[in-house]
A and B are shown apart, each in its own frame.
Chain A
Amino acid sequence: MSETTAAPELAAPRAPRNRRSTRTNYELYGWLFMRASGVLLLVLIFGHLYMNLMVGDGINAIDFAFVGGKWSSPLWQTWDLLMLWLAMIHGTNGVRTIINDYAERVGTRVVLKSALYLAFTITVVLGTLVIFTFEPCPAGADPELLASICFP
Protein backbone atom coordinates (compact mmCIF):
# COMPACT_ATOMS: atom_id res chain seq x y z
CA MET A 1 0.00 0.00 0.00
CA SER A 2 2.99 2.23 0.29
CA GLU A 3 3.72 2.27 -3.46
CA THR A 4 2.92 5.45 -5.18
CA THR A 5 1.29 5.40 -8.57
CA ALA A 6 2.19 7.97 -11.15
CA ALA A 7 -0.59 10.43 -11.80
CA PRO A 8 -2.02 9.95 -15.28
CA GLU A 9 -1.06 12.62 -17.74
CA LEU A 10 -4.04 14.73 -18.53
CA ALA A 11 -4.30 17.48 -21.07
CA ALA A 12 -5.06 20.88 -19.70
CA PRO A 13 -8.72 21.85 -19.93
CA ARG A 14 -9.62 23.18 -23.37
CA ALA A 15 -6.18 22.30 -24.73
CA PRO A 16 -6.30 22.38 -28.53
CA ARG A 17 -6.97 18.92 -29.94
CA ASN A 18 -4.34 18.70 -32.62
CA ARG A 19 -3.45 15.02 -32.35
CA ARG A 20 -4.38 12.98 -35.41
CA SER A 21 -4.83 9.26 -35.01
CA THR A 22 -4.54 8.59 -38.73
CA ARG A 23 -2.62 10.08 -41.60
CA THR A 24 -5.31 9.73 -44.23
CA ASN A 25 -9.01 10.45 -44.68
CA TYR A 26 -9.91 6.95 -45.91
CA GLU A 27 -12.22 6.24 -42.97
CA LEU A 28 -14.09 9.47 -43.73
CA TYR A 29 -14.49 8.48 -47.38
CA GLY A 30 -15.69 5.03 -46.24
CA TRP A 31 -18.25 6.61 -43.91
CA LEU A 32 -19.49 8.84 -46.74
CA PHE A 33 -19.57 5.91 -49.20
CA MET A 34 -21.78 3.87 -46.84
CA ARG A 35 -24.37 6.65 -46.91
CA ALA A 36 -24.21 7.45 -50.64
CA SER A 37 -24.25 3.78 -51.71
CA GLY A 38 -26.98 3.08 -49.13
CA VAL A 39 -29.40 5.45 -50.84
CA LEU A 40 -28.68 3.95 -54.28
CA LEU A 41 -28.92 0.39 -52.92
CA LEU A 42 -32.32 1.12 -51.41
CA VAL A 43 -33.65 1.97 -54.89
CA LEU A 44 -31.75 -0.83 -56.68
CA ILE A 45 -32.65 -3.59 -54.20
CA PHE A 46 -36.29 -2.57 -53.73
CA GLY A 47 -36.63 -2.55 -57.54
CA HIS A 48 -34.93 -5.97 -57.73
CA LEU A 49 -37.20 -7.46 -55.04
CA TYR A 50 -40.30 -5.96 -56.63
CA MET A 51 -39.52 -7.28 -60.12
CA ASN A 52 -38.46 -10.75 -58.91
CA LEU A 53 -40.80 -11.46 -55.97
CA MET A 54 -43.93 -9.30 -56.43
CA VAL A 55 -44.67 -9.11 -60.17
CA GLY A 56 -46.41 -12.07 -61.86
CA ASP A 57 -45.86 -15.40 -60.09
CA GLY A 58 -43.07 -14.01 -57.90
CA ILE A 59 -40.47 -16.54 -56.85
CA ASN A 60 -42.26 -19.34 -58.74
CA ALA A 61 -41.53 -17.58 -62.04
CA ILE A 62 -37.77 -17.49 -61.47
CA ASP A 63 -35.86 -19.93 -63.65
CA PHE A 64 -33.23 -19.89 -66.39
CA ALA A 65 -35.68 -18.43 -68.92
CA PHE A 66 -36.58 -15.60 -66.50
CA VAL A 67 -32.90 -14.66 -66.06
CA GLY A 68 -32.38 -15.03 -69.83
CA GLY A 69 -35.22 -12.61 -70.55
CA LYS A 70 -34.02 -10.11 -67.95
CA TRP A 71 -30.34 -10.06 -68.93
CA SER A 72 -31.18 -9.62 -72.61
CA SER A 73 -31.91 -6.05 -71.63
CA PRO A 74 -28.96 -3.67 -71.09
CA LEU A 75 -31.07 -1.91 -68.42
CA TRP A 76 -31.18 -4.98 -66.15
CA GLN A 77 -27.56 -5.87 -66.91
CA THR A 78 -26.51 -2.39 -65.78
CA TRP A 79 -28.92 -2.51 -62.82
CA ASP A 80 -27.56 -5.84 -61.59
CA LEU A 81 -23.93 -4.88 -62.21
CA LEU A 82 -24.31 -1.66 -60.21
CA MET A 83 -26.18 -3.52 -57.47
CA LEU A 84 -23.46 -6.20 -57.31
CA TRP A 85 -20.56 -3.75 -57.00
CA LEU A 86 -22.24 -1.31 -54.62
CA ALA A 87 -23.66 -4.04 -52.37
CA MET A 88 -20.36 -5.91 -52.23
CA ILE A 89 -18.32 -2.81 -51.36
CA HIS A 90 -20.98 -1.62 -48.87
CA GLY A 91 -21.24 -5.07 -47.26
CA THR A 92 -17.49 -5.71 -47.20
CA ASN A 93 -16.86 -2.34 -45.57
CA GLY A 94 -19.58 -3.10 -43.01
CA VAL A 95 -18.13 -6.50 -42.11
CA ARG A 96 -14.63 -4.92 -41.98
CA THR A 97 -15.97 -2.52 -39.34
CA ILE A 98 -17.48 -5.42 -37.38
CA ILE A 99 -14.14 -7.30 -37.48
CA ASN A 100 -12.29 -4.19 -36.30
CA ASP A 101 -14.75 -3.83 -33.41
CA TYR A 102 -14.79 -7.38 -32.10
CA ALA A 103 -11.56 -9.15 -33.16
CA GLU A 104 -9.12 -7.90 -30.54
CA ARG A 105 -5.96 -9.79 -31.51
CA VAL A 106 -4.01 -8.52 -34.52
CA GLY A 107 -3.62 -12.06 -35.90
CA THR A 108 -7.36 -12.72 -35.74
CA ARG A 109 -8.07 -9.44 -37.52
CA VAL A 110 -5.59 -10.21 -40.30
CA VAL A 111 -7.02 -13.71 -40.86
CA LEU A 112 -10.67 -12.58 -40.84
CA LYS A 113 -10.04 -9.59 -43.10
CA SER A 114 -7.98 -11.67 -45.55
CA ALA A 115 -10.89 -14.13 -45.81
CA LEU A 116 -13.29 -11.20 -46.26
CA TYR A 117 -11.25 -9.59 -49.06
CA LEU A 118 -10.84 -12.97 -50.76
CA ALA A 119 -14.63 -13.51 -50.67
CA PHE A 120 -15.12 -9.96 -52.00
CA THR A 121 -12.74 -10.49 -54.93
CA ILE A 122 -14.13 -13.90 -55.90
CA THR A 123 -17.77 -12.76 -55.68
CA VAL A 124 -17.31 -9.48 -57.60
CA VAL A 125 -15.19 -11.07 -60.36
CA LEU A 126 -17.52 -14.08 -60.69
CA GLY A 127 -20.68 -11.96 -60.68
CA THR A 128 -19.30 -9.46 -63.21
CA LEU A 129 -18.16 -12.23 -65.56
CA VAL A 130 -21.54 -13.96 -65.32
CA ILE A 131 -23.46 -10.78 -66.20
CA PHE A 132 -21.28 -10.09 -69.26
CA THR A 133 -20.63 -13.60 -70.58
CA PHE A 134 -24.15 -14.98 -69.99
CA GLU A 135 -25.63 -16.76 -73.01
CA PRO A 136 -29.46 -16.66 -72.73
CA CYS A 137 -29.94 -19.09 -75.64
CA PRO A 138 -27.20 -21.75 -75.34
CA ALA A 139 -26.92 -24.00 -78.40
CA GLY A 140 -28.29 -27.48 -77.87
CA ALA A 141 -30.22 -26.62 -74.70
CA ASP A 142 -33.74 -27.93 -74.10
CA PRO A 143 -35.95 -25.27 -75.82
CA GLU A 144 -38.54 -25.72 -73.03
CA LEU A 145 -36.10 -24.12 -70.58
CA LEU A 146 -35.27 -21.02 -72.64
CA ALA A 147 -36.70 -17.51 -72.77
CA SER A 148 -39.12 -16.50 -75.54
CA ILE A 149 -36.51 -14.11 -76.95
CA CYS A 150 -34.61 -17.21 -78.14
CA PHE A 151 -37.41 -17.91 -80.65
CA PRO A 152 -37.97 -14.73 -82.71
Chain B
Amino acid sequence: MPEAPAGTLYRGREGMWSWVAHRVTGFLIFFFLLVHVADTSLVRVSPEAYNAVIGAYKNPIMGLAEAGLVAAIVFHAFNGIRVMLVDFWSSGPRYQRVMLWIVLGLVVVTMAAFLPRHLMNVFGGGH
Protein backbone atom coordinates (compact mmCIF):
# COMPACT_ATOMS: atom_id res chain seq x y z
CA MET B 1 0.00 0.00 0.00
CA PRO B 2 1.37 3.43 -0.85
CA GLU B 3 1.59 5.89 1.96
CA ALA B 4 -1.47 8.05 2.27
CA PRO B 5 -0.66 11.65 1.50
CA ALA B 6 -1.25 14.16 4.29
CA GLY B 7 -3.65 16.10 2.13
CA THR B 8 -4.44 16.52 -1.49
CA LEU B 9 -4.26 19.38 -3.93
CA TYR B 10 -6.73 17.65 -6.24
CA ARG B 11 -10.00 19.51 -6.17
CA GLY B 12 -12.03 17.60 -8.77
CA ARG B 13 -14.58 19.23 -11.04
CA GLU B 14 -13.90 20.88 -14.40
CA GLY B 15 -10.58 22.48 -13.43
CA MET B 16 -8.88 19.26 -12.34
CA TRP B 17 -10.39 16.97 -14.95
CA SER B 18 -9.47 19.27 -17.85
CA TRP B 19 -5.91 19.29 -16.48
CA VAL B 20 -5.93 15.46 -16.29
CA ALA B 21 -7.28 15.23 -19.86
CA HIS B 22 -4.64 17.71 -21.09
CA ARG B 23 -1.90 15.54 -19.55
CA VAL B 24 -3.23 12.25 -20.84
CA THR B 25 -3.79 13.56 -24.40
CA GLY B 26 -0.37 15.27 -24.44
CA PHE B 27 1.35 12.07 -23.27
CA LEU B 28 -0.40 9.97 -25.95
CA ILE B 29 0.34 12.49 -28.72
CA PHE B 30 4.05 12.54 -27.75
CA PHE B 31 4.38 8.78 -28.12
CA PHE B 32 2.54 8.81 -31.43
CA LEU B 33 4.97 11.51 -32.58
CA LEU B 34 7.97 9.26 -31.86
CA VAL B 35 6.36 6.43 -33.86
CA HIS B 36 5.30 8.80 -36.65
CA VAL B 37 8.83 10.20 -37.18
CA ALA B 38 10.18 6.63 -37.22
CA ASP B 39 7.66 5.41 -39.81
CA THR B 40 8.14 8.51 -42.00
CA SER B 41 11.91 7.89 -41.91
CA LEU B 42 11.34 4.80 -44.04
CA VAL B 43 11.14 7.12 -47.08
CA ARG B 44 14.97 7.04 -46.83
CA VAL B 45 14.97 3.24 -47.09
CA SER B 46 12.86 2.64 -50.22
CA PRO B 47 9.46 3.52 -51.73
CA GLU B 48 8.36 -0.09 -51.10
CA ALA B 49 9.35 -0.03 -47.40
CA TYR B 50 7.49 3.25 -46.79
CA ASN B 51 4.37 2.14 -48.67
CA ALA B 52 4.28 -1.15 -46.76
CA VAL B 53 4.38 0.56 -43.36
CA ILE B 54 2.03 3.41 -44.26
CA GLY B 55 -0.35 0.73 -45.59
CA ALA B 56 -0.78 -0.39 -41.97
CA TYR B 57 -2.33 3.03 -41.20
CA LYS B 58 -5.03 2.44 -43.79
CA ASN B 59 -6.75 -0.58 -42.23
CA PRO B 60 -10.06 0.06 -40.42
CA ILE B 61 -8.74 -0.49 -36.88
CA MET B 62 -5.91 2.00 -37.42
CA GLY B 63 -8.42 4.32 -39.11
CA LEU B 64 -10.43 4.42 -35.88
CA ALA B 65 -7.26 4.90 -33.82
CA GLU B 66 -6.40 7.88 -36.07
CA ALA B 67 -9.83 9.37 -35.37
CA GLY B 68 -9.04 9.04 -31.64
CA LEU B 69 -5.62 10.61 -32.18
CA VAL B 70 -7.13 13.56 -34.06
CA ALA B 71 -9.72 14.01 -31.28
CA ALA B 72 -6.90 14.01 -28.68
CA ILE B 73 -4.94 16.60 -30.70
CA VAL B 74 -7.99 18.83 -31.21
CA PHE B 75 -8.84 18.74 -27.48
CA HIS B 76 -5.21 19.42 -26.48
CA ALA B 77 -5.02 22.33 -28.94
CA PHE B 78 -8.27 24.04 -27.89
CA ASN B 79 -7.75 23.37 -24.19
CA GLY B 80 -4.22 24.79 -24.59
CA ILE B 81 -5.78 28.04 -25.81
CA ARG B 82 -8.04 27.91 -22.73
CA VAL B 83 -4.98 27.46 -20.48
CA MET B 84 -3.40 30.54 -22.09
CA LEU B 85 -6.57 32.57 -21.60
CA VAL B 86 -6.63 31.54 -17.92
CA ASP B 87 -2.96 32.57 -17.61
CA PHE B 88 -2.90 35.81 -19.60
CA TRP B 89 -6.46 37.18 -19.72
CA SER B 90 -7.38 39.01 -16.54
CA SER B 91 -10.89 37.51 -16.50
CA GLY B 92 -9.62 34.08 -17.59
CA PRO B 93 -9.75 32.35 -14.18
CA ARG B 94 -13.32 33.57 -13.66
CA TYR B 95 -14.46 32.00 -16.93
CA GLN B 96 -12.29 28.84 -16.87
CA ARG B 97 -15.33 26.59 -16.33
CA VAL B 98 -17.48 27.97 -19.13
CA MET B 99 -14.40 28.02 -21.38
CA LEU B 100 -14.02 24.26 -20.86
CA TRP B 101 -17.55 23.73 -22.18
CA ILE B 102 -16.74 25.99 -25.14
CA VAL B 103 -13.59 23.89 -25.76
CA LEU B 104 -15.62 20.67 -25.70
CA GLY B 105 -18.21 22.22 -28.04
CA LEU B 106 -15.46 23.22 -30.49
CA VAL B 107 -14.01 19.69 -30.31
CA VAL B 108 -17.41 18.25 -31.22
CA VAL B 109 -17.81 20.71 -34.13
CA THR B 110 -14.29 20.03 -35.43
CA MET B 111 -14.75 16.27 -35.19
CA ALA B 112 -18.13 16.56 -36.93
CA ALA B 113 -16.27 18.19 -39.84
CA PHE B 114 -13.41 15.68 -39.80
CA LEU B 115 -15.02 12.31 -39.05
CA PRO B 116 -17.36 11.87 -42.06
CA ARG B 117 -14.52 12.69 -44.47
CA HIS B 118 -11.99 10.47 -42.68
CA LEU B 119 -14.35 7.53 -42.09
CA MET B 120 -15.40 7.61 -45.75
CA ASN B 121 -11.72 7.47 -46.72
CA VAL B 122 -11.10 4.59 -44.32
CA PHE B 123 -14.26 2.53 -44.91
CA GLY B 124 -15.60 3.77 -48.23
CA GLY B 125 -14.47 1.59 -51.10
CA GLY B 126 -10.77 2.13 -50.50
CA HIS B 127 -9.53 3.97 -53.56
Which A residues have a C-beta under 8 Å from some C-beta of B? 35, 38-39, 41-42, 45-46, 49, 53-54, 57-60, 62-65, 67-68, 84, 87-88, 91-92, 94-95, 98, 119, 123, 126-127, 129-130, 133-134, 138, 141-142, 145-146
Contact = CB atoms under 8 A, between A and B. Distances in A.
A42 B73 CA distance: 9
Contacts of A92: 30
A60 B127 contact: yes
Interface stretch (B10-18, B89-97, B116-124): B116-124
Nearest to B125: A60
Which range contains the number of B residues in contact with the other chain? 35 or more
A123 B30 CA distance: 11
Contacts of B88: 35
B38 interface: yes
Contacts of B122: 59
Contact of A141 (B41, B46, B83): B46
A49 B27 contact: no
Given A35-B87, A138-B46, A60 B121 contact: yes
B38 A126 contact: yes
Contacts of B47: 63-65, 138, 141-142, 145-146
A127 B40 contact: yes
B38 A94 contact: no
Nearest to A137: B47
Contacts of A95: 27, 30
B33 A38 contact: no
Contacts of A67: 40, 43, 50
B43 A64 contact: yes
B51 A91 contact: no
Contacts of A88: 33
Contacts of A65: 47
A72 to B, nearest CB: 12
Nearest to A32: B87
Given A62-B57, A145-B51, A130 B43 contact: yes
Contacts of A49: 70, 73, 114
Contact of B34 (A123, A134, A141): A123
Given A42-B80, A59-B122, A67-B50, 16 more contacts: A35-B87, A49-B70, A54-B118, A59-B57, A62-B57, A64-B50, A84-B37, A92-B30, A94-B30, A123-B34, A126-B38, A130-B41, A130-B44, A133-B44, A138-B46, A145-B48
